[in-house]
Chains A and B, each alone.
Chain A
């Protein structure tokens, strides 16, 4: 994603938390939030954990042995993503998607659509994990179509959560680190 930084209306504002928030505009023109490293530190990880669970995140994501395997595993996400990236993923999840996290739809010969997260794709077959967490494999000669979903299965939480709540969730996710 290419993006440019713009001045944030929140900068220097009343809420100290918001002072840490910068506003970004993605190439698609979508206003998204991004946080400085301070953001993760200033959020409340305990509240973030509650928000993570109450907002249905385990429906698709797995932490440790809880939650679905459909979406990216977040067990050690704090080792791998900055607070800015985590914030972006929450408010604009389609802005940047790693190849292994792409969602795809396979259309069978009878028109049935099977959605899931891509595992492998080669010249003759495609493998994915579906919402029921079943590993599925399709031979391309036996399906009608296959495409990568540019609009993934994860919704934007920009309008569902306040910036402070996003910051709390980011603080929680940032705390998830591997044991090594």
Chain B
């Protein structure tokens, strides 16, 4: 072929619009065949307008393909799907798959050093802008990858894992910025939310979620110099409100996590949502869900943005089911506390003051031994699992754990060393191998089946009241997906993957994937056919209707 025959293609290539633009993410709901961000769009509602799958045909779902990464960790990543290509990540590898067959287009490998792994080498997902994917690696690199070829474009070290940092969050793209932050796995490294230029990786702004100097007003909320190792990690993706140019991020627990004796005060901005100007990183407002936390109740849940009727008028709100067991409604423009209502059994909070500050129940402080029983337990009423909001049903859906804890693990606060544990926790009691083997994930306490179980709950955000629940017996780490045809997809640790009626909670279809469902299901369409993808164990599974139906 003469090269001249390719010139028209060259022109096409030159004017090809970027695959994922700021505008396309702004209007992600109009483009339901794709899944463009961790939360399915800037509002993080995980709600799709696709209606190819319905309550009437969902029982016909069949397995279309399975993808097994080379690594065997529990797969937590939420994929991105653009124009029939699915991108995901596990451990040291990013892949581009044909979303119809699961066949690999390319694989990008970056060897994350095993020694940087302080917990599980899990990654929550990728972000995409233009033709670039962004991967925040466990060992502190932010890598831009060409989505067409799988070649690295740039690779920047943004935190040093030797100092107790890690990256496992799926970044958020806003305009020409990659926004993300580091976590610290109870190692007292002060964390932040930051923005980086998509083209170069240059850092544009940074907001510290734990103070870096005594001059920071937040430092006054930490006794003495305890702010120096305050942690407050970032490990779940935030949301963005284009109307106010505000990005919202949840933060994790303060360090030392299980012993707050040396950090009297609220310990800002731990266990909070921070509302930041997306162009500057300047704090607009914050709300702290659990002041002076000693229960490990990270507030790293995904901020779900919605407009709902509120006392007779539409109101722009943020919906948040927190690890501390309360469902919150905040005015997302001002941060005003509108509602806080328990969605699981709780015993730690006797009520909220007018500003929305919880009033801690007496006698629940952690003890070295014989601690009190507190609901919910250390794993919380929920955790990082993505909830969903359906504008069609008007309901908020969240994976919940009813459970309790006995915070008797309080121990001496360790001397802080870079990269060392800084927990204030006594030696963990270890369960018997038999007891451990019963669980697919962390252990939780229960005395009776009524006191400890997992459930998918539907909450009316106008009242905080539970509309229905789908009880699972075993616990769930699954995200939730809802669709415009009133379907709801979720899973649990027993490996089940469920389709429910979003209006009623009725079970419509299920299958077992043989491994913990610990990611958020996503849906997309190729050539008019709808698919739903979810991870089970260390693999990813795609379902769709039979070709003949």
Nearest opposing residue in chain A for B2, CB measure: A155
CB-CB contacts of B1-16 with A at 8 A, as 1s and 0s? Answer: 1110011011011001
Chain B 98-110, CB within 8 Å of chain A: the 1/0 string?
1011011110000
Contact A131 B98, beta carbon cutoff 8 Å: no
Q: Which chain A residues (100-141) contact chain B, with CB distance < 8 Å?
A: 115, 119-120, 122, 124-125, 127, 129, 131-135, 137, 139
A131 touches B12 (CB 8 A): yes
Please give, as numbers and ranges, the residues of chain A lying within 8 Å of B149 by CB-CB distance. 62, 69, 73, 129
**Minimum distance in angstroms from A95 CB to a CB of chain B:** 17
Flag whether A153 is at the interface (Cβ < 8 A).
yes
Given contacts A73-B151, A132-B12, contact A59 B1 (CB under 8 A): no
Q: How large is the interface on B (under 10, 10 to 19, 20 to 34, 35 or more residues)?
A: 20 to 34
Q: Does B16 contact A133, Cβ atoms closer than 8 Å? A: yes
Question: Whole-angstrom distance from the CB of A138 to the nearest CB of chain B?
Answer: 9
Q: Are A135 and B85 in contact (CB under 8 A)?
A: yes
Q: Is the CB of A119 within 8 A of B105?
A: yes
Pair A139/B101 contact, Cβ less than 8 Å: yes
What residues of chain A lie closer than 8 Å to B10, measured between beta carbons? 56, 58-60, 68
Report whether B85 and A153 are in contact in the complex, using a CB–CB cutoff of 8 Å.
Answer: no
- B103, A127: Cβ atoms under 8 Å? yes
Query: Quick one: given A135-B85, A137-B84, are A151 and B1 in contact (CB under 8 Å)?
Result: yes
Shortest CB-to-CB span from B349 to chain A, Å, is: 51
Least CB separation from B11: chain A residue: A59
Residue in A60, A70, A120, A133 whose beta carbon sits within 8 Å of that of B103 in the complex? A120
B96 at the interface (CB under 8 A from A): yes
A62 to B83, CA, bound (A): 22
| In the complex, A25 has a CB within 8 A of chain B | no
Contact residues in A for B7 (Cβ distance below 8 Å): 56, 59
B2, B84, B103, B146 — which one has the most chain A CB atoms within 10 A of its CB?
B103
Rounded to whole Å, the gap between the CB of B277 and the closest CB of chain A is 30
Q: Cβ of B148 < 8 Å from any Cβ of A?
A: yes
Interface of B, secondary structure class, is mixed
B153 at the interface (CB under 8 A from A): yes
B9 touches A132 (CB 8 A): yes
In the complex, what distance in Å separates the CA atom of A113 from the CA atom of B366? 70
Given contacts A65-B153, A127-B103, contact A56 B12 (CB under 8 A): no
* In the complex, A154 has a CB within 8 A of chain B: yes
Note all chain A residues with C-beta closer than 8 A to B146: 69
On whether the beta carbons of B100 and A153 are closer than 8 Å, the reply is no
Shortest beta-carbon distance from A131 to chain B in Å: 3
1/0 per residue, CB under 8 A from A, across B230-246: the answer is 00000000000000000
Residues of B within 8 A of A62 (CB): 149
Which residue of A60, A75, A133, A152 has the most chain B CB atoms within 10 A of its CB atom? A133
- Complex-state Cα separation, A120 to B95, whole angstroms: 13
Q: Are B151 and A137 in contact (CB under 8 A)?
A: no
- Cβ-defined contact, A129 with B9, below 8 A: no
Q: How many angstroms between the C-alpha atoms of A72 and B266 in the bound complex?
A: 57
CB-CB under 8 A from B16, the residues of chain A are 132-133
Complex: A75 Cα to B151 Cα, angstroms: 10
Verify B6–A153 contact, CB threshold 8 A: yes
Which of chain A's residues 127-168 have a Cβ closer than 8 Å to chain B? 127, 129, 131-135, 137, 139, 151-155
When C-beta atoms are compared, the residue in chain A nearest to B7 turns out to be A59
Report the separation of the CA atoms of residues A7 and B12 in the bound assembly, to the nearest whole angstrom.
45
Residues of B within 8 A of A153 (CB): 1, 3, 6
**Contact assessment for B103 and A122 in the assembled complex, using a CB-CB cutoff below 8 Å:** yes
Given contacts A69-B146, A73-B149, A132-B9, contact A137 B101 (CB under 8 A): yes
List of B residues within 8 angstroms of A135 by Cβ: 84-85, 96, 98, 105, 148
Contact A137 B148 (CB under 8 A): no
Of B3, B96, B100, B103, the contact of A59 (CB 8 Å cutoff): B3
* Min CB–CB distance B155 → chain A (angstroms): 10
Question: Taking A133-B148, A135-B148 as contacts, is the C-beta distance between A70 and B9 under 8 angstroms?
Answer: yes
**Chain A residues whose CB sits within 8 angstroms of the CB of B2 once the complex forms:** 155
Task: Give chain B interface residues in 1-57, CB to chain A under 8 Å.
Answer: 1-3, 6-7, 9-10, 12-13, 16
* B105→A59 contact, CB < 8 A: no
Which chain A residue lies CB-closest to B12?
A: A132
Q: What CA separation (Å) do A129 and B131 show in the bound complex? A: 14
Measured between C-beta atoms, what is the minimum distance from B154 to chain A in Å?
Answer: 10
A-B complex: 5 closest residue pairs judged by Cβ atoms: A131-B9, A137-B98, A59-B10, A69-B148, A135-B105
23 contacts across the A-B interface (CB closer than 8 A): A56-B6, A56-B10, A59-B10, A60-B6, A68-B13, A70-B6, A70-B13, A75-B151, A120-B104, A120-B105, A124-B101, A127-B103, A131-B13, A135-B84, A135-B85, A135-B105, A137-B84, A137-B105, A139-B101, A151-B1, A152-B1, A153-B1, A154-B3
